[in-house]
């Protein structure tokens, strides 16, 4: 088993109302910040998956993102693979055990 680290970025779909984004835009004036627009607020979930290979790990992440972490009616998600420091260590461990 190798450990992979992923991030799942969940964002409101285009055209879907985003009250948090509007709230951020409304606060910009108080901070004296100009030139910022089109603010969209979503979630970012980072997690570790132990799987036999990268294809299996990614399948688990896609399943989790679609079933638990996003609402497909109003949100889109994208999966991003993060640094594989722990997977390298695990891969070495596996090779040594084999």
Q: Does 40 bind its own copies (CB under 8 A)?
A: yes
**Between 66 and 92, CB nearer to its own copies:** 66
Question: In Å, what is the CA distance from 44 to each residue of 6, 7, 28, 47?
Answer: 10, 7, 22, 10
Regarding 76 and contact with its own copies (CB under 8 A), the answer is no
Residues numbered 44 to 73 that lie near its own copies (CB under 8 A) are: 44-51, 60, 63-64, 67-69
How do beta strands 2-12 and 75-81 pair? antiparallel
87 touching its own copies, by CB under 8 A: no
């Amino acid at each position: 088993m190798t450990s992979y680290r992923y991030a799942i970025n969940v964002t409101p779909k285009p055209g879907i109302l985003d009250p948090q984004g509007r709230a951020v835009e409304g606060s910009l004036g108080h901070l004296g910040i100009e030139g910022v627009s089109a603010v969209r607020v979503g979630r970012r979930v980072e997690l570790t998956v132990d799987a036999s290979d990268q294809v299996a790990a990614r399948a688990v992440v896609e399943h989790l993102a679609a079933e638990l972490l996003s609402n497909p009616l109003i949100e889109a998600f994208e999966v991003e693979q993060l640094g594989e420091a722990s997977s390298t260590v695990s891969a070495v461990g596996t090779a040594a055990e084999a």
